[in-house]
Structure 1
Amino acid sequence: MSEHPLSRRIGQVVGLDPDANAIEYDGHWRTWRQLAGLTRQIAAAVQPGAQVGILLRNTPAHVASVLAVLSAGGCVVVVNPSRGDERIRADLAELTLPVIVGTADDITLLAQPADTTTVVTIGDVDSAAQIRPGAASNPGPASVAVRMLTSGTTGPPKRVDLTYDMLAVSVIGTDFTTAAAPSAVSTSAAIVNAPLVHIGGVYRVLQCVCEARPFVLLPRFDLASWAQAVRQHRPKAVSLVPAALRMVLHSDLGPDDLAGVRAVTSGTAPLSAEDADAFTDKFGIPVLTSYAATEFGGGVAGWTLADHRTYWKSKRGSVGRASLGAQLRVVSEDGTPMEPGEAGLLEVKPGQLGTGAPWVRTTDLARIDADGFLWILGRADQAIIRGGFKVLPDDVRAALESHPAVLGAAVVGRPDERLGDTPVAMVELRSTGPVSTADLTEYLRTRLAPYEIPSEIAVVEVIPRTPSGKADLTAVRAHFTGP
C-alpha cells in the first residue's frame, strides 16, 4: 500500500524549512527540525496499521507523537489523561494496545502497560524519546488514522474511527490526492487553544501543519494567555468555542487587542445570534459559526466571509451552508424529506466520507431554507416532555444567556412524579454584581412559555464542561438528581 497523501504532506512540511519556527509553547519557539527529529524517533517504533495509544496533552512533544503515528501509517488512539486514573487504567486494559506514548508521569501513574507493550516516554521536542520495546507485531496497513473520543456531552465519551481520507478532506480539501504542498513556511502564526483530546484540537493542529503554518499552542483556553498571543502574533483568524467567545465578549478586551483578526470561527456548541452580533459590535469582527461532528471528521456546514457580508442580516442564527462537499437535508421521523423552511431531523452526507456515502441521520432538529442555509433548532434526543408539552433545552439556555448578567447556562430534564420531567438550569454569572434566581425566573416569564421555565435554577461559580468547551450535561444532571 502506497503512502497516504496525508502522511506524505506531513513529511513534506516538517522538512520544508528545518530552522524556521514551528510551535510556540510556554513563551518559547520550537523549530521544524526539533519537531521532525522527535517525530522520526517515535515513528520508528510504530508499525503500519498499529494502534498507538497516546495520553494526549497540549504540548509540542504530543503534537510530534500524533504526527509520528500518522507519518508511519499507524492509528492514533486518543486517551484523555484527565478522565481519572481508574477509568484510564480500565480503558487501556480493555484496548490492549501494542504501543503507548506519554510523559513519564502519565506512563507511571496511569498506563501501567504490560511487558508486551512498546512504551514510548516523551519529554520536550528537544529531548530524545525513551523507547522500551515490546512484542513485535505486523498488523499491516490501516485506513483508520485516529480513533477519536467524542466530547461526552450527554454521557461517557465513546471512540469514533476517522479514516485517513476523512481527515485529509477536512485539513487539506476534497482535492487532497492532487493538491500541491506549500512551497514555504507561512509568515503568519495561528493560535491553537482547543485540546488535542478533542477533534477540534487535532483538526487545528493538522490544518496548521498541512498549511506549513507555525502556531502558538496553549495548554488550554486561558483568557490572559490567549489575548497575549493574539496581540503578539495578530492572526488573521481565531477559533473560539461559544463559552470562550462569551468570555472574550464580556472581558475588558477591546478592538485594539484583537487588531488584525478578520474573522472568528465558532463551533462545537450553539452560539446565539445575539452573542455573535454583540461580538461584532464590540470588536468589529464577524463571527463565522459552523456545524461539525466528531463522526464526520470535521465540519459539514459553515459561514464564509462572502456569505456573511451578503446574507447575515437575513440569515442570522444560521450555522451557514454545506461545506467540504457535504449534502444536507431535513426529514420527518419516517424519513420523508421536508420542504424548505420546515423543521425536522437533520441528515448529512459528509464530504469526508466520499461520493458514495449514505445519508447519516443526526439527533439534531433543524431547518434548511431555499438558499441552503442551515439552522440547528436543538437536540431531538434531549427534548424534555413536561406534562405533555415539549421543552427544548437550547431554547431555555438561549433565553437565560440573553440576560446581561449570565455568562453561560446549561439545561437538563429532571424526573418529576406528576409531570414526567421538568427543566432545571445551571447558570454561571458574569462579574457584574449579584442576581438572584428569582430575578432570573422573572426575566424568563416574558421570554418563555410557562411550561418552559425551569423548576429550579442553580447559580454556580463554574459550569462543568467537556474538553471541547461544551457543558457536561451528565455532571449538570448529577448536580440536580445525584450520581
Structure 2
Amino acid sequence: MTDFSECLRAAIHATPERPVMEFKGRVFTAGELATYGDALIAMIEAAGVPEDAAIGIILRNRPIHAAVVQGLVAMRRPITTIYSMQSAQAIAADLDASRFAVVVADQEDWSEPVAAAARRNNTVAIALDLGAESAVELVGEPVETISADYRRIVPEPGIEILSSGTTGTPKRILFPYRMLIRAVESITYGRGSETLSADIVTLPFTGIGGMCGVVAQPLVARYSALLEKFNVPEFVDAARRLRPTLLSGPPTIPRMLMDANVAPEDLSSVRYWYGGGSPFPPELQDEFEERYGIRTIWAYGATEFCGTVISWTIDLDREYRQAKRGAVGKALPGVELRVVDVQTHTVLTPGKAGYLEALIPAIRPDWIRTTDIVEIDVDGFVWHHGRGDGAILRGGFKILPEKVAEALLVHPAVLDACVVGLADRRLGEVPAAAVMLRDNALSVTEPMLIEHVRTLLPANHVPARICILPELPRTTSLKIDLSAVRYRIELEMGAENDAPAVNSA
C-alpha cells in the first residue's frame, strides 16, 4: 500500500451499493457516505481553500462525520479534530486561537458563539445535517477572502488528533497521512477471519482509537453499528442482531455489561474481546470469560504511536494465556521495544522494570520514550505497571496508583476505581481514591474499603481518602479523567481542608 489516501479513495467508491454502517435504525451504503464526503470536497474547492489549510472538524460519532473524514483523508486534505463535548464558548475560543480556513460541524454545534468566531476569522463554515434537504451546506454568507494567517499543516498533509487528556489538557499530535497504514495494521493484526465479522463502534472519533477505525473501515470492509455514545441497551441490541464474533473497547464496557447483568445468550456469538486504553485486571478478565465465554485479547498503544504497538493475538492467546497471564502482549511486526532506567535512561536487561521506548520506523527514525513503567521478559512479552509520571511520593516512598486501584478492584462491591495523588503538608503526597460501586453494593462504606486495602497492601499504600461516586469522570475515549477525579475528591473533602485527615500515617 504505497499511498494510503489513494487506496482509501478507491475503497470508498468501489462498491457504492454495499451496506456499510447503521445508526439509530438507519442503514447507510458506501455510496451514500461517499456522496457526503464528495460534497464537502467540492464545497471546499469551490471556496478556493488552499491545499495546506487545516480543516477543523467538530466531531461527533455520526455517519456523516465518518464520511467527511474519509473524504478529506482520501483527497489528502489536512484535518484538525475539535472536541464537541465542550462549551460553545470553549469551541469559539479554539476557533479564535487556531484560525481555521474551514470549520465543519454538525448543525447543532453551530451555536451563535461558534458562528460568530467563524465570522471573525473569515472561516468557511459548513454544517452537516442528515435531516436537511442538503446534508452538507454552507453556514451564513460565503467567505470572499480567507485570512492569510490560517492554520496550516505542512510540509505534508496529515491529521491532528487530540491526546486522551487523562492526566491534563489534551494536546494535538500531528500524523502525516502516510502513517495511517498503521491504523489498518493495528485493527487487523492477529485477528484472522474474525476481522470480517460485524462491529459495534463505541470509541469516539476524536481519539486515536476511534479515528483509526474511521479511516480503516472502508479498507477492511467491515459492517459497523455506530453508537453515538456507549450505552448498554443499544449495544446489546446490536450484538443480538448482528451476531459479531469479535468486539472491542476499553475495560469500562465489559464492566458495565457485567454490572447490568446482560444475559450470556445476548453475547453468545462473541468469541473474543479486543481492547486496550487502560489495564484490564486478570481477575476481571476471568470473571468476564467465565460469565460469557469470551476470551480477552489485550493491547497497548498511544496517540503518539498512531495506534497499537503491543498486542496479544488469537494464536498467542491459545499458546501462552496461562504462562503469560497479566501481560499486554508482544510487539507488533515492524516495532522494536526496549526498557530504560527511569533515572539514567540506560537500556535494561529482560525482566527489569523501567520506561518503555519504542522504535517505529513508519512514524520516525528515533526511539520514542514513554513514561509508562513496563518490563519485558526474555520471550518478548510486556507487563505494564502504570505510568511513571503518575507515581505518588508519600514521605519518600513511591506508590504506583495502579497498584492501589487493583487492590480496590478485588473487592466484590467495587465496579471501577481510580487513584490519584493529593498534596499533603507533612508527607508531600498521599494517595486518594474514587470508586464506583456495583448496583447491588450500596451499603459499602469508605472505612470498609480502607480496611480492605489495608489487608492487601503496605500501610503507606492505603488511601488517605476513598470517595464513593455514582460514576467516575471520563474523557471522550472512556478513560478515567484523572484531573476531574482529583477535583471531585477535593470537593468531597471540603475546600477548607489543607490536607487529608483520614489515614495520614
- What's the offset of the Cα at 1:5? 2.2
Q: Is the 8 A contact 2:197 2:246 kept in 1?
A: no
- CA-based RMSD of the aligned residues comes to 2.2
**1:229 maps to which of 231, 235, 238:** 238
- 1:54 aligns to 2:33 (yes or no): no
Q: 1:131 matched to which residue of 2?
A: 138
For structure 1, the residue ranges without an aligned partner over 5 or more in a row are 176-185
Q: 2:458 aligns with which of 449, 452, 459?
A: 449
208 and 456 in structure 1: CA distance in 2 versus 1, 3 angstrom threshold: same
Equivalent in the alignment of 1:209? 218
Letter paired with 2:77? G
Q: Match of 2:138, as an amino acid?
A: I
Range moving further from structure 2, 187-196 or 156-165: 187-196
2:86 aligned to which of 72, 83, 88: 83
Residue 73 of structure 1, aligned match among 56, 76, 83: 76
Q: Is the 8 A contact 1:89 1:111 kept in 2?
A: yes
Structure 1 residues 420 and 190, CA gap change in structure 2 (3 angstroms) = same
User: Any idea what SS the aligned residue of 1:33 has?
Assistant: helix
Asked if the contact 1:364/1:376 (under 8 Å) is kept, the reply is yes
Structure 2 spans left out of the alignment, 5+ residues: 189-194, 496-505
Does structure 1 residue 155 correspond to structure 2 residue 163? no
Would the aligned equivalents of 2:186 and 2:307 in 1 still touch at CA under 8 Å? no
Name which of 365, 381, 384 aligns with 2:389.
Answer: 381
Partner of 2:23 in structure 1? 25
- Note if contact 2:196-2:221 (Cα within 8 Å) is conserved in structure 1: no
Q: Secondary structure at the match of 2:257?
A: helix
SS for the counterpart of 2:456 is coil
Aligned to 1:250: 259
Partner-residue secondary structure (3-state), 1:157: coil
Q: Deviations over 1:245-275 (max 9, x none)?
A: 2112333223321122221111111111111
* Cα distance, 1:12–1:405 mapped onto 2, change above 3 Å: same
Tell me how far apart the structure 2 counterparts of residues 106 and 191 of structure 1 sit (CA, whole Å): 25
Which of 424, 437, 452 is equivalent to 1:429?
Answer: 437
Looking at structure 1, the residues matched to 333 and 114 of structure 2 have their Cα atoms a distance apart, in angstroms, of: 38
| Change beyond 3 A, Cα 1:4–1:37 | farther
For residue 194 of structure 1, the aligned residue among 203, 210, 218 is 203
Describe how 1:356-371 pairs up with structure 2 within 5 A: 357-371=365-379
Offset at residue 210 of structure 1 (A) = 1.5
DSSP-derived class of the 2:489 partner: helix
1:209 CA displacement: 1.7
Q: Secondary structure at the match of 2:322?
A: helix
**TM-score w.r.t. structure 2 length?**
0.88
Task: Choose from 98, 101, 107 the match for 1:98.
Answer: 101
1:447 and 1:36 mapped to 2: Cα distance? 56
TM norm structure 1: 0.92
Question: What is the deviation of 1:141?
Answer: 7.4
2:295 to 286, 302, 320: 286
Alignment-mate amino acid for residue 129 of structure 1: V
2:66 is aligned with what amino acid?
V
State the 1:212 CA deviation: 1.9
Which stretch of the first structure deviates more once superposed, 364-373 or 97-106? 97-106
Cα contact 1:170–1:298 (8 A) shared by 2: yes
2-structure distance, mates of 1:238, 1:298: 17
Asked if the contact 1:120/1:131 (under 8 Å) is kept, the reply is yes
Provide the secondary structure at the position in 2 that maps to 1:317.
coil
1:105 partner amino acid = E
Structure 1 residue 321 corresponds to structure 2 residue 330 = yes
Taking structure 1 as reference, are residues 86 and 237 closer, same or farther at Cα in structure 2, changes over 3 Å only?
Answer: same
| DSSP-derived class of the 2:466 partner | strand
The code of the aligned residue for 1:158 comes to K
Q: Deviations over 1:382-423 (max 9, x none)?
A: 111111111110001111111111111111111111111110
SS at match of 1:53: strand
Aligned partner of 2:380 among 359, 364, 372: 372
Q: Are the structure 2 counterparts of residues 194 and 140 from structure 1 closer, same or farther at C-alpha, using a change threshold of 3 Å? A: closer
Find out whether 1:275 has 2:287 as its counterpart: no
Look up the SS of the partner of 1:480 in the other structure.
helix
For residues 333-375 of structure 1, the C-alpha deviation after alignment (integer angstroms, 9 at most, x for no partner) is: 2121111111111111135415xx2111101111000000011
In the alignment, what sits opposite 2:357? 347
1:61 CA drift (Å): 1.0
| Cα distance in structure 2, aligned partners of 1:188 and 1:360 | 34
Work out which of the residue numbers 141, 153, 158 in structure 2 matches 1:145: 158
Structure 1 residues 110 and 242: CA distance shift in structure 2, 3 A: farther
Contact persistence 1:296–1:352 (CA under 8 A): no
Bigger CA drift: 270-279 or 420-429?
Answer: 270-279
State the match for 2:502 in structure 1. none
Task: Verify: 1:121 aligned to 2:127, yes or no.
Answer: yes
Kept after mapping to 2: 8 A contact 1:366/1:376: yes
Q: Which amino acid aligns with 1:88?
A: I
Find the aligned partners of 1:167 and 1:359 in 2 and give their Cα distance.
Answer: 19
Which secondary structure does the structure 2 equivalent of 1:49 belong to? coil
> Match for 2:321 among 300, 312, 315?
312
Does the Cα contact within 8 Å between 1:300 and 1:351 map onto a contact in 2? no
- Please state how far the C-alpha of 1:315 moved relative to its aligned partner: 0.8
Map of 1:181 onto structure 2: none
